[in-house]
Structure 1
């Protein structure tokens, strides 16, 4: 272990003590990956695609805590909060203006559980169809734009 120099003391004084795995804490709403039961992206939270998996995880882990991204509008979080209340799971909203993350909600413990798959696997066929539909819409839109430019 190396000795601290003046710069280390100044940095610690200005920004606080460095936390281990700080990048993970920023990405996963203040918790570590090894503590997570289930993580939902913002898109999954806003479209309610992960509700069934979230409910199942809440049934299996009644002592867990739900962390919700404060950047997601409250109107999209009604179902998640309802599930948390239904299964008596505490939840809190985490807002960090300095960090941009794609995570919308996290079901977590305050100790490590080391779960392998924390993300919901989307159906590849459904994802492929969605991409094709987006491509068709964008190509149609580009054709219409070309008509008006001419």
Structure 2
């Protein structure tokens, strides 16, 4: 019995405390999906319209905090850090288990407890209005032979 406890203690010292659902925590910058209000990929962070959507979500969630991917270029990080400080929102730059891949998560607005938002992707949550398609003009032959 004592050797099992000793083995567990040594394992924790060597490998660290085991994580619950580590793949999900690595994907969501160290937190769980259920705690997220809004997510932006690295590619989405470069679009100026998404900054406005980010600010809208921050205004709705004063208790939230921000997680920023640490592998992003400093110019992009600084833009979102300035927006966070302007809104007096806590933020953390995460450097563990993150990547620069355009489809990986670049920014999260999250809570300390589960909020279970059904949609967190910025493009799905705040869709951009696309131009209505122009009615198709009838060709000369269509007009001639009604």
TM-score, normalised by the number of residues in structure 2: 0.71
CA distance in 2, matches of 1:105, 1:26: 13
From 109, 113, 122, the counterpart of 1:107:
109
CA distance in 2, matches of 1:6, 1:85: 46
Which structure would you say has the larger Rg?
A: 2
The answer (yes or no) to whether the contact 2:70–2:98 under 8 Å persists in 1 is no
- The runs of at least 4 consecutive aligned structure 1 residues that moved more than 4 Å come to 4-11, 122-126
Deviations for 1:72-124, whole angstroms, at most 9, x for unmatched residues? 0111123312221221101111102x553611011111111000101122669
Unaligned runs of 5+ in 2: 131-146
Deviations for 1:112-143, whole angstroms, at most 9, x for unmatched residues? 100010112266997xxxxxxxxxxxxxxxxx
Task: Quote the residue 1:92 is aligned against.
Answer: 92
Displacement of 1:11 in angstroms is 4.3
Task: Quote the residue 1:50 is aligned against.
Answer: 50
The answer (yes or no) to whether the contact 1:65–1:108 under 8 Å persists in 2 is yes
Unaligned runs of 5+ in 1: 127-150
| Structure with the largest fraction of helix | 1
CA distance in 1, matches of 2:17, 2:117: 28
CA RMSD of aligned residues (A): 2.7
Q: 1:124 to 1:90 in 2, by over 3 A?
A: closer
1:72 correspondence with 2:87: no
Aligned to 2:29, the other structure's residue is in SS state coil
The answer (yes or no) to whether the contact 2:35–2:116 under 8 Å persists in 1 is yes
Aligned residues: 122
